[in-house]
C-alpha cells in the first residue's frame, strides 16, 4: 500500500497507501528505508525485512507489516467466501495502487457485486484520508458512514497505530477489513469472482492465466521494483547518488518494456493480464506527474512509440477509461507533496490525448 504520507510499498506488507503526519525529514528518511524492503505480493518475499537502516520512530511504525492480509476464496475454503454484496472497496482515484483494484473491479464486471467509496484527493497528513462526498468525484460511505478512513482501521483493530492506506477491502458481514494490499485485492478480483461477473465475456477474462503465471510473476517483480517504485525512489532521493541509481534503472526498464511491446500487444504476451494493469497505473501518471514532480525527466512516455501506443490501448479498453480521474491525480500529487512542490502549484496540463488511435490491434494476430 503506498503509504502516501510515507509512500511505502513493503514486502509482505501492504503497498499502496498513504500515512499520517510526520516531519519532512522523517518522511524522506522513510522512503530511503522503504526502498530496501520488498512490498507484499510484489517482490521476492522479505529478504530485507529484518534489516533496520537508520530507522526513525515514525519510519519504524510505517514499516510494520500489514495487519490485513486475508483472502477471499471462490471455493469457500477461507472465512471470506466470494459473495455478492458482501464486500466494499475504499479507494482514491489518485493512488496508483488503489487504481489497480478499481480497474480489476471494472474489467471483471463486479461494480454491482462490490460497492465502492472514493475518498477525497486532498490528503491531510494529520488525519489521513477523509471521506468527503461534497468534493467532485468523491462519494459517501454508505456502509460505515465514516468521515475518516482511520475509523475503519480502528474498528477492525482497536488501538491500531499502523499505516492508514488505500485501497481497503471491507467485509460488511464481519465488519472488518479483509485486505489493504492492492496486489492481492487485484488478484482476488481477477480470479475469485468469476461466477459473479456481469457478462460472460467478463467472466472468461482471466487476468492471471495458469499458462502465463510464471511470466507474469517475473514481470511484476521488475516492473514493481524499477518502475512502480522506481519513480518514488527518484522523487525522494536525498543525494545525487541516491537519485542516479534508480533513475538509471527506471529508464533501462522503460526501454525494456518498450522492446517487449514492440513485438507483442501486451506485456506478458498476446492477452491482457494483471501485469498490464500494474504497469498501466504508473505509466498513465508518468507524463502528467512523475516526469515533472518526481524528476523522472529523461524521457516522457509519449517519446516511446510502443509504450505510448500501449498506454492508449489500455486506456481505451471498455471498463478502464472510466476509472481514470486525471483531476484527482494531478491535484493530489501536486498539493500533497510540499517537500517537492512547496507552493502546491498545479502546472498546466500536458497537451496529450489518450483517445488517439493506437494501431496495436495488428500485434494480436
pLDDT of 272-292, one tens digit each?
999 999 999 999 999 999 999
Given a contact cutoff of 8 angstroms between Cβ atoms, the answer to whether 211 and 44 are in contact is no
Does this model's pTM top 0.75? My answer is yes
230: Cβ–Cβ under 8 A, 6 or more apart, which residues? 246, 249, 250, 253
Residues 255 and 184 in one domain: no
Number of domains in the chain: 2
Same-domain status, 226 and 322: yes
Domain assignment present for residue 340? The answer is yes
- Closest by CA to 150, choosing from 172, 127, 169, 173, is 127
Q: Is residue 103 located within the same domain as residue 216? A: no
Which three three-digit cell numbers place residue 209? 492465466
Give the pLDDT score at 254. Answer: 99
Grid cell, residue 75, equals: 471455493
95 is catalytic: yes
Determine contact, residues 316/340, Cβ cutoff 8 Å: no
Burial state string for 183-208 with b = 16 or more CB within 10 A and e = fewer than 16: bbbbbbbbbbbbebbeeeebeebbbb
Kindly name the residue from 4, 18, 87, 95 that is annotated as catalytic.
Answer: 95
**Of residues 4, 18, 87, 232, which has the active-site annotation?**
232
pLDDT of residue 86: 98
Residue range of the domain that includes 181: 72-204
Residue 84 shares a structural domain with residue 123: yes
**Quick check: 18 and 3 in contact, CB under 8 A?**
yes
Q: What angle do CA 17, 20, 25 make, to 5 degrees?
A: 105
Q: What pLDDT, on the 0 to 100 scale, is given for residue 52?
A: 33
Tell me, what's the pLDDT at 162? 86
* Catalytic status, residue 232: yes
Provide the CATH number for the domain around residue 79: 3.40.30.10
Q: Are residues 93 and 141 in the same domain?
A: yes
How high is the pLDDT of residue 61? 39
What is the per-residue pLDDT for 266? Answer: 98
Whether residue 182 is found in the same domain as residue 141? yes
Q: How high is the pLDDT of residue 325?
A: 98
Judge contact between 40 and 183, C-beta under 8 A: yes
- Beta strands 115-118 and 87-91 are parallel
- pLDDT value of residue 365: 55
Closest CA to 41 of 253, 168, 185: 185
Q: Which letter does DSSP use for residue 307 in this model?
A: H
Domain end point (choices 186, 204, 222): 204
Clarify whether residues 245 and 308 are in a common domain: yes
Residues 217 and 355 in one domain: yes
Residues of the chain with pLDDT under 70: 1-66, 365
Rounded distance between C-alpha atoms, residue 185 and residue 224, angstroms: 16
Amino acid at each position: 500500500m503506498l503509504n502516501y504520507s510515507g509512500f511505502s510499498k513493503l514486502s509482505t506488507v501492504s503497498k499502496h497507501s498513504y500515512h499520517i503526519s510526520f516531519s519532512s525529514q522523517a518522511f524522506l528518511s522513510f522512503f530511503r528505508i522503504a526502498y530496501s524492503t520488498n512490498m507484499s505480493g510484489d517482490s521476492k518475499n522479505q529478504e530485507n525485512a529484518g534489516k533496520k537502516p537508520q530507522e526513525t520512530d515514525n519510519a519504524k511504525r510505517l514499516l510494520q507489516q500489514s495487519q490485513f492480509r486475508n483472502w477471499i476464496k471462490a471455493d469457500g475454503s477461507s472465512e471470506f467466501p466470494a459473495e455478492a454484496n458482501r464486500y466494499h472497496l475504499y479507494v482514491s482515484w489518485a493512488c496508483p495502487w488503489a487504481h489497480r483494484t478499481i480497474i480489476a473491479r471494472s474489467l471483471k464486471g463486479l461494480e454491482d457485486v462490490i460497492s465502492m467509496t472514493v475518498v477525497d484527493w486532498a490528503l491531510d497528513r494529520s488525519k489521513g484520508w477523509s471521506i468527503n462526498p461534497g468534493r467532485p468525484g468523491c462519494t459517501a460511505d454508505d456502509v460505515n458512514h465514516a468521515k475518516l478512513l482511520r475509523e475503519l482501521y480502528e474498528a477492525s483493530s482497536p488501538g491500531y497505530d499502523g499505516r492508514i492506506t488505500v485501497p481497503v477491502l471491507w467485509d460488511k458481514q464481519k465488519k472488518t477489513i479483509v485486505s489493504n494490499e492492492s496486489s492481492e485485492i487485484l488478484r482476488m478480483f481477477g480470479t475469485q469472482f468469476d461466477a459473479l461477473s456481469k457478462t460472460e465475456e467478463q467472466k472468461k477474462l482471466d487476468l492471471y492465466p495458469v499458462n502465463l503465471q510464471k511470466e507474469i510473476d517475473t514481470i511484476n517483480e521488475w516492473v514493481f521494483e524499477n518502475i512502480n517504485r522506481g519513480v518514488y525512489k527518484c522523487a525522494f532521493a536525498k543525494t545525487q547518488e541516491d537519485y542516479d541509481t534508480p533513475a538509471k534503472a527506471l529508464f533501462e526498464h522503460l526501454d525494456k518494456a518498450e522492446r517487449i511491446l514492440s513485438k507483442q500487444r501486451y506485456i506478458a504476451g498476446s492477452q491482457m493480464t494483471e501485469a498490464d494493469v500494474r504497469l498501466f497505473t504508473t505509466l498513465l501518471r508518468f507524463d502528467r506527474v512523475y516526469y515533472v514532480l518526481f524528476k523522472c525527466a529523461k524521457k516522457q512516455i509519449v517519446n516511446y512509440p510502443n509504450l505510448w501506443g500501449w498506454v492508449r490501448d489500455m486506456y481505451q479498453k471498455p471498463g478502464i477509461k472510466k476509472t481514470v480521474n486525471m483531476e484527482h491525480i494531478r491535484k493530489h500529487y501536486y498539493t500533497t507533496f510540499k517537500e517537492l512542490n512547496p507552493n502546491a502549484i498545479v502546472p498546466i496540463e500536458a497537451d496529450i490525448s489518450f483517445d488517439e488511435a493506437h494501431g496495436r490491434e495488428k500485434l494480436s494476430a
